[in-house]
Chains A and B, each alone.
Chain A
Amino acid sequence: MSAPVLELDGLYAGYGETEILHDIHLRVDEGEIVVIVGPNGAGKSTAMKAVFGLLNITRGAVRLAGTEITGTPPEKVVGKGVAYVPQTANIFATLSVEENLEMGAYVSSENPAPRIEEIYQLFPPLREKRRQPAGSLSGGQRQMVAMGKALMLHPKILLLDEPTAGLSPKYRGEIFHIVRDINAAGSTILMVEQNAKQALGIAHRGYVLVDGQNRHEGTGQGLIADEEVARMFLGAGGHG
C-alpha cells in the first residue's frame, strides 16, 4: 500500500510551552475526504497548523507522501503541494479578488490567468467581483475567494478549517457541494467542520478530537451512526 498523502504520527505539539496536542494520530489517503470534528478548543485548528510548521512540535512526525516534513516552514510546505485555508483571516482583504487568486499562485512562475479562469468557473460569483477588494464581499463569497486562492496550484492536498462557519444554510450546502467536486476532480481533502452531520455525510473517513487527543475514528457513515458521537455533536443539529 502506498504511503498516505498526509500523516500525523504521534504528534505532541503546542504554542510555545503550552502543549495542546497530545499524541495525535491522523492519516489521509489519496483521493479521500477526511473530516475532523470535535468540541471548541479541542485542537482541531492546531492539528492543521502543525502541518504548516507553525507550531512547536516536541514529539512525533508529520509526513507528506511518506517524507517527513516536521517543522518545515510554511512557504516550503506550499511548494510541496499542500494548500491551507485557515479558519479566520483567510483572504487579503485589501487586495482585489483577482489579486488574491494571483497570490495563490505566488510560488509558481507560470502565468496564472488560465487557472484563474477555471476558478471563476468553479465559483461564478467571483467573476463579476474580480476587481473589488476581497474584504468587501459577503461571508460566503469571501470563503470562495479563500478556497479559490488555495486551489490555484492544483494542490495534492487541501486543508480546510471550518469552511462553512458563519454561513447561511444555502451557502453551506453550496460549499459542501464544491468540496465534493474538488475532491472528485482529484484533490485530497482534510477538513475541520462544526456542521458535523453534513460534513461526515460527504466524508470517506472522520476523526473525533477531544482535548488534544484522538477520541474516535471511522468512516463518515460509521461516525454518524455512533451513539457517543451523535450525543456529542449531532443531537444539537446545525451550529451557527
Chain B
Amino acid sequence: MMEFLNFYLFPGILLGCIYALGAIGISLTFGILRFSNFAHGDTMVLGVYITLSFVWLTDLHPLVVMPLAMALTAFAMLGMDRAFFKPFRKSPPIMSVIASFGLMLMIRSAVQFFWGTQIQAMVKGIQPPLQWLQPLMLREKQLYILGGTVILMVAMHLLLTRTKIGKAMRAVSDNPDLAALTGINTERVVQATWILGASLAVAAGVFLALDTQVETNMGFKMLLPMFAAAILGGIGKPYGAVLGGMVIGIVEEVSAYPWIGTTPLLNPGYKAGVAFAIMVLMLIWRPQGLLRGRQF
C-alpha cells in the first residue's frame, strides 16, 4: 500500500500537476486564438533557463526567482506574438500552427546557443524525504510543487471568474464574433492569454526541473502529454486541461505498478506511449473531451 502511494500515486499526482499547468496554456491558446501552439513547450524551456540564470546570479531558491522569470517569459511571449503570430491573426489557423513550429525550433536553438546543451540541476544535492511525514515519502520540493500548483490554479480561477479581462477571455473563447460586436478588445484578450499561458508554462517547467533536471529538450518531451491533457479535458477548457493533466500524469505512473503478478503492468519505458494512447482513444471515443470542448 505504502509502496503504491510513495512510488506510483504520489509521483503520478506530481506529474499530473506539471502536465496540468502546462496544458492550460495550450487549451487557452486553442480556445482564444484558435490554433495549436507547438512552441508552448519551448516557451516553458525558455522560462526554466531564465529561472536557472537567476538562481546562478542570486543564489536564491528557484521558487523565489520564478515569478520574475514568469514575468520575463510572458513579456518575451508578447514580443514573439507580435512578430510571429499577429501577422497571421486573420489567416487560416494552419498558418499560425506552422509559425508556432518555426518558433519552437527557434526558441530551442536560442536556448541551446546561450545556455549550452548539457544537463543542469536546478538545485544542487539530493533531498531526503521529510522525516515527519514517514512512512509517506515526500520531499520538501514536492510539497512546494503541490502547494504551488494549488495556488496557481486558484489564482487562475479567480482571474477567469472575477476579473473583467478574465470574463472577456471566456467570452472570446465562447463566441469571438459576438465578442467583437460587444466591443471587447480582442487584442487585449489575446495578450492576456499569452501572459497567463506562458506564466503557467514556466511554473510547470520549473516544477518539472525541481523534480528532475534541466535539459533543453524537456519542453519537447512535455508537448505530447500536454496536448493529450488538453484534448482529454476538452480543448479550449482550462479546467478540462487541469483534469486531463492530472489523469494523464497519474495513469502514466500507475500503469507501471505490478497490478498483475510481480512485474510492472507496463514497462516504464513505454510511459510516454500512455499519453499518446489516451489521446488517440479520446479522439475516437469522445472528441469533444471530458468537459465538452471544441471538436476538431
Q: How far does the alpha carbon of A89 sit from the alpha carbon of B175 in the complex, in Å?
A: 8
- Cβ of B256 within 8 Å of any chain A Cβ, yes or no, is no
Residues on B facing A (Cβ under 8 Å): 164, 167-168, 170-171, 174-175, 177-186
Known interface pairs A90-B178, A93-B174. Does A74 touch B183 (Cβ–Cβ under 8 Å)?
Answer: yes
| Complex interface bits, A106-149 against B, C-beta within 8 A gives 1, otherwise 0 | 11000000000000000000000000000000000000000001
- Chain B hits for A74, CB < 8 A: 180-181, 183
- Given the known inter-chain contacts A75-B183, A84-B181, please indicate yes or no for A106 contacting B168, CB distance below 8 A: yes
Contact A52 B167 (CB under 8 A): no
Residues B180 and A92 in contact, CB atoms below 8 Å apart: no
Closest CB in chain A relative to B188 CB, distance in Å: 10
15 A-B pairs, CB-CB below 8 angstroms? A74-B180, A74-B183, A75-B180, A75-B183, A75-B185, A75-B186, A78-B182, A86-B181, A89-B177, A93-B174, A95-B170, A102-B167, A103-B168, A103-B184, A106-B168
Q: In whole angstroms, what is the CA distance A89 to B180 when docked?
A: 13
Q: Which residues of B contact A149 (CB under 8 A)?
A: 182
Q: Is there contact, CB below 8 Å, between A92 and B171?
A: yes
Interface residue tally on A, bucketed by range: 20 to 34
A99 at the interface (CB under 8 A from B): yes
Given A92-B175, A94-B174, A78-B181 contact (CB < 8 Å): yes
CA distance A91 to B179 in the complex (A): 9
| Residue ranges of A at the interface with B (Cβ–Cβ < 8 Å) | 52, 73-75, 78-79, 84, 86, 89-95, 99, 102-104, 106-107, 149
How far apart sit A177 and B131, CA to CA, in the bound complex (Å)?
72
Q: How far is the CA of A73 from the CA of B184 in the complex (A)?
A: 11
- Measured between beta carbons, the chain B residues less than 8 angstroms from A89 are 175, 177-178
Please tell me if the beta carbons of B167 and A103 are within 8 angstroms of each other in the complex.
yes
Out of A78, A84, A95, which one reaches B174, CB within 8 Å? Answer: A95
> How many angstroms between the C-alpha atoms of A32 and B80 in the bound complex?
49
- Tell me if A's interface is mostly helix, strand, loop or mixed: loop
Kindly provide the distance from the CB of B54 to the nearest chain A CB, expressed in whole angstroms. 36
CA distance A52 to B180 in the complex (A): 10
Contact in complex: A79, B183 (CB < 8 Å):
yes
Which residues on the A side are within 8 Å of B179 (C-beta)? 92, 103
Q: Is the CB of B175 within 8 A of A93?
A: yes
Q: List, in ascending order, chain B residues with CB within 8 A of A94's CB.
A: 170, 174
Measured CB to CB, the nearest residue on chain B to A90 is B178
Q: Which of B164, B170, B177, B182 has the most CB of A within 10 A?
A: B182
| Shortest distance between the CB of A99 and any CB in chain B (Å) | 5
Chain B neighbourhood of A104, CB < 8 A: 182
* Cβ-defined contact, A92 with B178, below 8 A: yes
Assembly CA distance A149 to B167 (angstroms):
14
* A52 touching B170 in the complex, CB below 8 Å, given contacts A89-B175, A92-B175, A102-B164: no
Determine the chain B residues whose CB is within 8 A of the CB of A52 once the complex forms. 181
Q: Which residues does chain A contribute within 8 Å of B178, judged by CB atoms? A: 86, 89-92
A75 x B174 contact (CB < 8 A)? no
Query: A73-B180, A106-B182 provided; 20 other pairs, C-beta below 8 A?
Result: A74-B181, A75-B183, A89-B177, A91-B178, A92-B170, A92-B174, A92-B179, A95-B167, A95-B170, A95-B174, A99-B167, A99-B171, A102-B167, A103-B167, A103-B168, A103-B179, A103-B182, A104-B182, A106-B168, A106-B185
